[in-house]
């Protein structure tokens, strides 16, 4: 087991590396009661969470809350198991509730898998296979506070990476738990990932919003906690990466000069961005990030698209074409 003290009351428990070398982790917050933020996959860190609590001389019964940053399998994977061991309340944003209660929604709503993908996953095994449904005991929304002992956690709804994504802000130590909205795991393409329930505009808003929140410690799940200067640098890189994805889509469309399908556009954008999802995960990730960027570009009037997701055809709007023309010929 490995765990790291972020502060004397905040511990990050890191599980064994699992699929595609992804690092799965969670945070334990100690007060006279305990809260756990995220629970990793069904496999890891799982038991290490309770072992860590024991090593700190505390008991499973002290856990009052199991909080959810968002509704992905590597964040609520051990919720059901932990609840049985601790009797704690499971907390999630209203938009995450259905997926926690029915994890099959990951396949249908979040990853929108087609028949071929489902077949491949049934062959190789899906990371969602051992996922247990759990009942959410407390639904939170933007502005709510979760309190235990003398600790308060303020809920900030972000809804970028996935619809039910939230940040938890702890004002005493000024730590903010940011789930998967931003991370800078070296070479990891997931730092850009938005699923089919997410929203690229909201993700950018969340990242920019973080620049204005008075935090001292930035706590992502798959990456170690950052102190102020490094955290701000990481956020700047995340914002740049997000904008770069948007601009790459515009560049590809501009150079192509005619309508493109979502799949072709996504493949070309990902290639230029140097994205590699890994062989197994690419089945789950598919083209959702590009698609969600396209929807936000459409809202901003930069692209026009007809049809839904894989049937959609995209082109630059007249306004965006003019902008591209101007920037190419600007002196």
Q: Least distance in Å: CB of 225 to Zn ion?
A: 18
Cβ closer to Zn ion: 180 or 223?
180
Cβ closer to Zn ion: 75 or 302?
75
* Range in contact with Zn ion (rule: CB under 5 A) among 70-78, 96-104, 301-309, 313-321: 70-78
Q: In the block, which residue shows the tokens 């029915």?
A: 102
What is the number of alpha carbons within 13 Å of residue 201 lying toward its C-beta?
7
* Range in contact with Zn ion (rule: CB under 5 A) among 9-17, 85-93, 176-184, 269-277: 176-184
Q: Least distance in Å: CB of 224 to Zn ion?
A: 17
Is residue 194 within 8 Å of residue 292, measured between CB atoms? Answer: yes
Binding flag, residue 191, Zn ion (CB under 5 A): no
Q: Least distance in Å: CB of 73 to Zn ion?
A: 9
- DSSP code string of 77-113: TTHHHHHHHH-PEEEEETTTHHHHH-THHIIIIIS--
Cβ closer to Zn ion: 53 or 100?
100
Binding flag, residue 180, Zn ion (CB under 5 A): yes
Binding flag, residue 188, Zn ion (CB under 5 A): no
Residues in the chain: 331
Is residue 156 within 8 Å of residue 169, measured between CB atoms? Answer: yes
d(CA 18, CA 49): 16
Cβ closer to Zn ion: 34 or 204?
204
* Range in contact with Zn ion (rule: CB under 5 A) among 41-49, 66-74, 131-139, 291-299: 66-74
Count the residues of the shown chain that bind Zn ion, applying the rule CB under 5 A.
2
Distances (CA, A) of 79 to 130, 210, 327: 12, 27, 51
Residue 308's Cβ-count burial label (10 Å; 0-12, 13-18, 19+) is exposed
Cβ closer to Zn ion: 34 or 285?
285
CB atoms within 10 A of CB 292: 24
Binding flag, residue 72, Zn ion (CB under 5 A): yes
Q: Least distance in Å: CB of 106 to Zn ion?
A: 10
* Range in contact with Zn ion (rule: CB under 5 A) among 67-75, 222-230, 240-248, 266-274: 67-75
- DSSP code string of 236-300: HHHHHHHHHHHHHHHHHHHHH-S-EEHHHHHHHHHHHHT----TTTHHHHTTHHHHHHHHHHHHT
Q: Least distance in Å: CB of 215 to Zn ion?
A: 20
Binding flag, residue 203, Zn ion (CB under 5 A): no
Question: Given the rule CB under 5 A, which residues bind Zn ion?
Answer: 72, 180
């Amino acid at each position: 087991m490995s765990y790291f003290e972020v502060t004397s009351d905040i511990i990050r428990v890191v599980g064994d590396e699992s699929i595609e070398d992804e690092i799965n982790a969670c945070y334990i917050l100690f007060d006279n009661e305990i809260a756990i933020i995220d629970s990793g996959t069904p496999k890891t860190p799982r038991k290490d969470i309770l072992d860590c609590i024991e090593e700190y001389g505390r008991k499973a019964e002290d856990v009052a809350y199991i909080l959810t940053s968002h509704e992905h399998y590597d964040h609520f994977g051990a919720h059901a198991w932990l609840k049985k061991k601790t009797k704690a309340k499971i907390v999630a944003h209203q938009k995450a509730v259905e997926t926690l209660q029915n994890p099959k929604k990951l396949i249908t709503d979040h990853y929108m898998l087609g028949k071929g993908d489902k077949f491949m996953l049934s062959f190789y095994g899906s990371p969602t296979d051992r996922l247990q449904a759990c009942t959410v005991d407390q639904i939170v929304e933007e502005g709510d506070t979760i309190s235990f002992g003398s600790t308060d956690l303020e809920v900030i709804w972000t809804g970028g990476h996935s619809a039910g994504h939230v940040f938890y802000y702890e004002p005493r130590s000024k730590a903010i738990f940011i789930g998967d909205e931003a991370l800078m795991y070296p070479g990891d393409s997931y730092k850009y990932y938005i699923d089919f329930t997410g929203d690229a505009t909201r993700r950018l808003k969340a990242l920019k919003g973080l620049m204005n929140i008075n935090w001292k410690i930035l706590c992502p799940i798959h990456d170690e906690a950052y102190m102020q200067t490094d955290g701000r640098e990481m956020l700047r890189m995340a914002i740049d990466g997000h904008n770069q994805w948007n601009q790459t889509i515009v560049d590809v469309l501009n150079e192509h000069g005619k309508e493109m399908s979502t799949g072709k556009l996504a493949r070309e954008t990902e290639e230029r961005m140097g994205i590699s999802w890994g062989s197994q995960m690419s089945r789950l990730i598919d083209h959702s990030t590009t698609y969600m960027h396209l929807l936000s570009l459409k809202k901003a009037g930069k692209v026009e698209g007809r049809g839904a997701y894989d049937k959609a055809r995209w082109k630059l709007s007249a306004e965006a074409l003019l902008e591209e023309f101007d920037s190419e010929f600007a002196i």
